[in-house]
């Protein structure tokens, strides 16, 4: 079935370090891919998305490229800040039976130390 697998956390980094959070997926159709972020005490909010192969989503210095050949959508940022501390969710949406199904990963907690 359709699924999303992302790296387990927590991930602890020093400020200005490089960040990678891995995400791979399986899907029976041609999915759209998303990264959502959840800051403490808040709901999930969209960070970036990509809807077709080789698309790059970007926002707030974060980037992820839709890699169909490796079924991956890894999240990267060149220099993290303390304010990036949050939980990051990889997700996909895919057509199923005339509607769309959304599937979320388990979330990866990022802690950035000053």
Partner 1 sequence: NAGVTQTPKFRILKIGQSMTLQCTQDMNHNYMYWYRQDPGMGLKLIYYSVGAGITDKGEVPNGYNVSRSTTEDFPLRLELAAPSQTSVYFCASSYGRGRGIEQYFGPGTRLTVT
Give me the residues that bind partner 1 (CB under 8 A), please. Answer: 4, 32, 34, 36, 41-46, 49, 51, 89, 93, 95, 99-100, 102-107
The nearest distance, CB 14 to partner 1, in angstroms, is 26
CB-based burial, 3-15: b 16+ in 10 Å, e otherwise: ebebbeeebebee
Nearer to partner 1, 40 or 114 (CB): 40
The nearest distance, CB 60 to partner 1, in angstroms, is 15
Nearer to partner 1, 34 or 62 (CB): 34
Give the span between the Cα atoms of 68 and 45, in whole angstroms: 24
The nearest distance, CB 100 to partner 1, in angstroms, is 5
Collapsing DSSP to helix, strand or coil, 110 comes out as: strand
Give the span between the Cα atoms of 64 and 77, in whole angstroms: 9
Nearer to partner 1, 34 or 84 (CB): 34
DSSP β-bridge partners for residue 14: 113
């Amino acid at each position: 079935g359709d699924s999303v697998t992302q790296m387990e956390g927590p991930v602890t980094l020093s400020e200005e370090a490089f960040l990678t959070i891995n995400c791979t997926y399986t899907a029976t159709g041609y999915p759209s891919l998303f990264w959502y972020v959840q800051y403490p005490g808040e709901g999930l909010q969209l960070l970036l998305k990509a809807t077709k192969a080789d698309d790059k989503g970007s926002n707030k210095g974060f980037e992820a490229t839709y890699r169909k050949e490796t079924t991956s959508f890894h999240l990267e940022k060149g220099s993290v800040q303390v304010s990036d501390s949050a939980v990051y969710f990889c997700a996909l949406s895919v057509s199923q039976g005339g509607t769309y199904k959304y599937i979320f990963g388990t979330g990866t907690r990022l802690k950035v130390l000053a």
